[in-house]
């Protein structure tokens, strides 16, 4: 037990927690926007892969880091648009369409990567985002190391939490998105476009998810690997239920998850000899299932989630 407390007191532990949480923050926010509009987006896992690949590829081709971020977001928006067309105007099964998008985005990313780089033994590296050193603030003892040595993408993720909260709770657009996920008929009666709102929410949400992927290749690592997303998208789908579709709680959920993941890595070195390493590897997935089971009972799903809506049909 003492070891755990010692770990919890280190700066590097909390810095790592925030770093691990960053892609999840993007992913949970993206999933939240989609689901608030009434559409489950299981394309998330593939969109993470597409964002990771497209962002990395753009930087590798010389687009610059922020150019890569934009390219990743566009790639995510593109695959989101496919899901949106299939699920909104066509009203197809959101489960199957989402899985289809995941398989399509993943295979398209892998195929493009292999086609662009047919014969590389070790993946080529890019110069990733550097930690933002803010004068004076970075010098602060505990907080300075944790907050002010993160990369710009982590700051962007934190900013997005505030932005999504503001749009959802303080603007007419947010009211409309929430209404279209609860009662599309009422939105239609107001003369607003149900299709437009849902498609827009899915495209924007998917662009955010892709930034989560881009963080992996452009900040956490400096190259693209097959299988590097490793279920992070699915974890976000569990976390968004845990967060009951609230941006603040989404941040909290992602941070708790990041802290737990950082802790298990450190525990592994402490007690690794006694416990098989796989116990630690499996822990994040088990934790996600536990969080889902706890949250599921009292989860207030957007009322029209998974229900297609057709114009002119009541």
Q: Give least dist CB 107 to other proteins, A.
A: 4
Tokens of 150: 């993160």
Binding map of other proteins across residues 223-262, x = CB under 8 A, - = no contact = -------xx--xx-xx--x---------------------
Stretch that binds other proteins, among 16-24, 66-74, 89-97, 170-178 (CB under 8 A): 89-97
Check binding of 4 to other proteins (CB under 8 A). no
Nearest to 224 by CA among 120, 154, 100, 153: 120
Stretch that binds other proteins, among 85-93, 168-176, 207-215, 245-253 (CB under 8 A): 85-93
Rg (CA), the chain: 20
Query: For other proteins, which residue of 8, 9, 143, 281 counts as binding (CB under 8 A)?
Result: 281
Check binding of 278 to other proteins (CB under 8 A). yes
Q: Which residues pair with 131 in a beta bridge?
A: 151
Stretch that binds other proteins, among 87-95, 145-153, 172-180, 192-200 (CB under 8 A): 87-95
Q: Work out the number of other CB atoms within 10 angstroms of the CB of residue 135.
A: 7
Q: Number of residues interacting with other proteins: please give it, by CB under 8 A.
A: 48
Stretch that binds other proteins, among 160-168, 183-191, 207-215, 275-283 (CB under 8 A): 275-283
Q: Work out the number of other CB atoms within 10 angstroms of the CB of residue 290.
A: 12
Torsion sign, CA atoms 91, 94, 99, 101: positive
Check binding of 276 to other proteins (CB under 8 A). yes
Check binding of 103 to other proteins (CB under 8 A). yes
Q: Which residue has the tokens 């923050």?
A: 25
Query: For other proteins, which residue of 42, 160, 180, 214 counts as binding (CB under 8 A)?
Result: 42
Q: Which is nearer to other proteins, 128 or 284 (CB)?
A: 284
Buried (b) or exposed (e) across 30-59, using 16+ Cβ within 10 A? bbbbbbbbbbbbbbbbbbbbbbbbbbbbbb
Check binding of 61 to other proteins (CB under 8 A). no
| 151: helix, strand or coil | strand
Q: Give least dist CB 126 to other proteins, A.
A: 21
Tokens of 288: 């996600």
Q: Give least dist CB 299 to other proteins, A.
A: 7
Interior angle at CA 71, CA 82 and CA 259, nearest 5: 90
> DSSP for 255-292?
HHHHHHHHHHHHHHHHHTTTS-HHHHHHHHHHHHHHHH
Q: Give least dist CB 183 to other proteins, A.
A: 20
| 308: helix, strand or coil | coil
Q: Which is nearer to other proteins, 95 or 303 (CB)?
A: 95
Our measurement of the distance from residue 17's CA atom to the centroid of its chain's CA atoms, rounded to an integer in Å, reads 15
Helix axes 247-271, 11-36, angle to 10 degrees: 140
Check binding of 310 to other proteins (CB under 8 A). yes
**42 near 306, Cβ under 8 Å?**
no
Nearest to 141 by CA among 14, 11, 18, 19: 11
Check binding of 303 to other proteins (CB under 8 A). no
Query: For other proteins, which residue of 6, 107, 169, 307 counts as binding (CB under 8 A)?
Result: 107
Residue ranges binding other proteins (CB under 8 A): 42, 82, 86, 89-93, 95-97, 99-101, 103-104, 106-108, 110-111, 114-115, 118, 230-231, 234-235, 237-238, 241, 276, 278, 281-282, 285-286, 288-289, 292-293, 296-297, 299, 310-313
């Amino acid at each position: 037990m003492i070891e755990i407390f010692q770990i919890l007191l280190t700066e590097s532990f909390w810095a790592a927690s925030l770093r691990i949480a960053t892609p999840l923050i993007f992913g949970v926010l993206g999933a939240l926007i989609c689901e608030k509009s009434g559409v489950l987006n299981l394309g998330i896992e593939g969109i993470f892969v597409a964002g990771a690949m497209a962002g990395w590829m753009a930087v590798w081709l010389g687009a610059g880091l922020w150019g890569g971020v934009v390219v990743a977001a566009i790639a995510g928006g593109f695959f989101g648009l496919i899901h949106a067309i299939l699920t909104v105007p066509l009203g197809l099964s959101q489960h199957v369409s989402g899985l289809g998008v995941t398989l399509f985005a993943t295979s398209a990313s892998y195929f493009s990567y292999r086609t662009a780089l047919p014969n590389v033994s070790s993946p080529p590296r890019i110069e990733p985002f550097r930690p933002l050193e803010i004068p004076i603030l970075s010098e602060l003892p505990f907080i300075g190391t944790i907050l002010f040595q993160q990369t710009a993408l982590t700051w962007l993720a934190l900013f997005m939490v505030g932005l999504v909260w503001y749009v959802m709770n303080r603007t007419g657009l947010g009211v409309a998105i929430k209404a279209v996920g609860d009662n599309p008929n009422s939105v239609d009666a107001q003369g607003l476009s149900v299709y437009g709102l849902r498609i827009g929410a899915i495209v924007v949400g998917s662009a955010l998810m892709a930034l989560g992927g881009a963080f992996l290749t452009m900040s956490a690592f400096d190259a693209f690997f097959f299988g590097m997303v490793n279920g992070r998208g699915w974890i976000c789908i569990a976390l968004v239920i845990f967060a009951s579709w609230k941006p603040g709680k989404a941040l909290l959920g992602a941070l708790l998850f990041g802290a737990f993941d950082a802790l298990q890595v450190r525990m592994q070195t402490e007690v690794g000899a006694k416990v098989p390493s796989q116990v630690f590897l499996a822990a994040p997935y088990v934790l996600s299932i536990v969080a889902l089971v706890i949250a599921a009972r009292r989860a207030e799903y957007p009322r029209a989630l998974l229900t297609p809506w057709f114009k002119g049909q009541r």
